[in-house]
Structure 1
Amino acid sequence: MPPRFFVDTPLAGPAELSLPASAARHVQVLRLQPGSPLTLFDGSGDEWQAEVTAMGRSEVRVQLHARQLVNRELATALTLCVVMPANDRMDGIVEKATELGAVAIQPLMSERSVLRLQGDRAQKKQVHWQGVAIAAAEQCGRACVTQIHPVQTLAAWLSGLDGAAPARRWLLSPTAARPLAERAAGEPQPTLVLSGPEGGLSAAEEQAARERGFEALQLGPRILRADTAPLAVLGWVALQQG
């Protein structure tokens, strides 16, 4: 199977083009040669079959051949809204969520957050996580890349939902009475899944989410970690929809 690479510029062909620096580095690391086949995608949902035509020290040129329409996305456009866990666990969430088909991830900070990001540090983390999502999409075969939104506080993000496009809204809560399986049936529709940090959301934060249409759901009798719960929901949806 030819290696797959994301190209951060719209593709159109048939045409010959120079790969952007990031994709060119990957081609050089793999030591591909002129004539080597590869697959390119730009995040629009299509793939292009291509082949290397020239290798230089700083430039890799490829010839685009056939465009392929692919559909490897979930029927449910699901956005994970995650209060960021501590350490590097957010990297794992981004990687696995991309593999499982999340359309977007919204990193959040709440009252009990251990990890707090602002300014340049928050922007650098967003860029890093977008890179993690790109690498995961290249590996898993998706032709779309999970979008990583800028870091926000939970309060600011909830306020910004006023007037937003309609979407089903789920709040993961260990004290909720309704299990996920009861509410996830029916026709696929855009869905926001809000998941808290280590220690969970505060009572005031849960109430604020409920006031903006979030329905509290629980995932079973066990308390899942902050980096497990959102992926469990996404995995359940992915398995239901194939």
Structure 2
Amino acid sequence: MAAGTPRFYVDAALTPAGELVLPERVAHHLTRVLRRGVGDGIRLFDGRGSEVSAHIERSERRQVTARIEAPLTPMAESPLAVHLGQAISKGDRMDYAIQKAVELGVAAITPLYTEHGDVALKGERAAKKLAHWQGVAISACEQCGRATVPVIAPAMKLSEWLAARDEPARWVLHPGEASLASTTTIARAALLIGPEGGLGDSDLTAARYHGFAPLRLGPRILRTETAPVVALSLLQYLHGDLGY
């Protein structure tokens, strides 16, 4: 199957030789945006590590059906699993941080409420925002080739997230002496990124109490959506698969 074959996430069992009615989002993009029709090849992945080749079997006004052909060897996940705790930011900054973190191989993302954060999500608004962020992660996987979609956890207080951390390597973006380089193999890590105004004193105290080492990434102050890109790039280069 050609490298330019369209690739989509579907939350369904991918059984070789089986037929699958494509979700409306996928069907619309295939037929209305990409102008693909019956017989054209596609790639489908389930977000849990399985990927298959397929083709459009039927294209009707209200429904597009694909026939699954054969399993494909999915892209391997990075040997470094990073759990990103990202302070919630307004506008598209949070979307950008999630999108780029997924492209850079992050294993999980938890949006966080912090001392200086100015976003509060409750009830239906919180549920809609979580679904939107998960959609951002799915779209990033479709684009970058990952077959495993990182879970975007429901937003929580920083204190709760810190208390649940058991990764052997933990860093918080803040001026300090910590280094991402290490002579030992790191398989799991936690990375904490604060909001636009930075983490408050109480947040930093709590992070240090839970084993997070303060980390400075050069002399310039990075925006909250830029910091995870730089930190994850360095982590994946030093301990993951970015240098391969």
Per the normalisation by structure 1, the TM-score is 0.91
User: Partners of 1:90 and 1:148 in 2: how far apart?
Assistant: 12
| Aligned pair partner of 1:15 in 3, 15, 18 | 18
In the alignment, structure 1 residue 52 sits paired with structure 2 residue 46: no
- Given that 2:22 and 2:65 are in contact with CA atoms closer than 8 Å, whether structure 1 keeps it comes out as yes
| Structure 1 stretch displaced more, 14-23 or 142-151 | 14-23
**What is the deviation of 1:145?**
1.4
Query: CA deviation digits over 1:75-95, x for unaligned, max 9?
Result: 101121011123220011111
In the alignment, structure 1 residue 70 sits paired with structure 2 residue 79: no
**What is the deviation of 1:166?**
4.2
User: Partners of 2:232 and 2:15 in 1: how far apart?
Assistant: 33
| Aligned pair partner of 2:204 in 191, 197, 206 | 206
2:139 maps to 135
**What is the deviation of 1:224?**
1.3
Query: CA deviation digits over 1:183-218, x for unaligned, max 9?
Result: 4x5313111101111221112111111211222222
**What is the deviation of 1:142?**
1.1
User: Partners of 2:66 and 2:9 in 1: how far apart?
Assistant: 13
User: Partners of 1:186 and 1:145 in 2: how far apart?
Assistant: 28
**What is the deviation of 1:21?**
2.4
1:196 maps to 194
User: Partners of 2:81 and 2:13 in 1: how far apart?
Assistant: 22
2:179 maps to 179
List aligned pairs for 1:67-216, cutoff 5 A. Answer: 67-159=71-163, 161=164, 165-174=166-175, 176-181=176-181, 183=182, 185-216=183-214
Query: CA deviation digits over 1:132-177, x for unaligned, max 9?
Result: 1111111111111122111112123223x1xx55442211112x12
- Given that 2:180 and 2:234 are in contact with CA atoms closer than 8 Å, whether structure 1 keeps it comes out as no
Secondary structure at 2:99 match in 1: helix
- Given that 2:174 and 2:215 are in contact with CA atoms closer than 8 Å, whether structure 1 keeps it comes out as yes
User: Partners of 2:85 and 2:53 in 1: how far apart?
Assistant: 34
Query: CA deviation digits over 1:78-126, x for unaligned, max 9?
Result: 1210111232200111111111111111100111002222222111111
Unaligned runs of 5+ in 1: none
- Given that 2:56 and 2:64 are in contact with CA atoms closer than 8 Å, whether structure 1 keeps it comes out as yes
Q: 1:222 to 1:180 in 2, by over 3 A?
A: farther
User: Partners of 2:147 and 2:166 in 1: how far apart?
Assistant: 25
Unaligned runs of 5+ in 2: none
User: Partners of 1:165 and 1:194 in 2: how far apart?
Assistant: 14
Query: CA deviation digits over 1:218-238, x for unaligned, max 9?
Result: 212222111111211111123
> Percent of aligned positions with the same letter in both sequences?
42
- Given that 1:50 and 1:65 are in contact with CA atoms closer than 8 Å, whether structure 2 keeps it comes out as yes
Q: How many residue pairs are counted as aligned between the two chains? A: 236
Q: Quick one: which amino acid aligns to residue 15 of structure 2?
A: A
In the alignment, structure 1 residue 2 sits paired with structure 2 residue 21: no
1:238 maps to 236
**What is the deviation of 1:24?**
1.9
**What is the deviation of 1:45?**
1.7
| Structure 1 stretch displaced more, 150-159 or 41-50 | 150-159
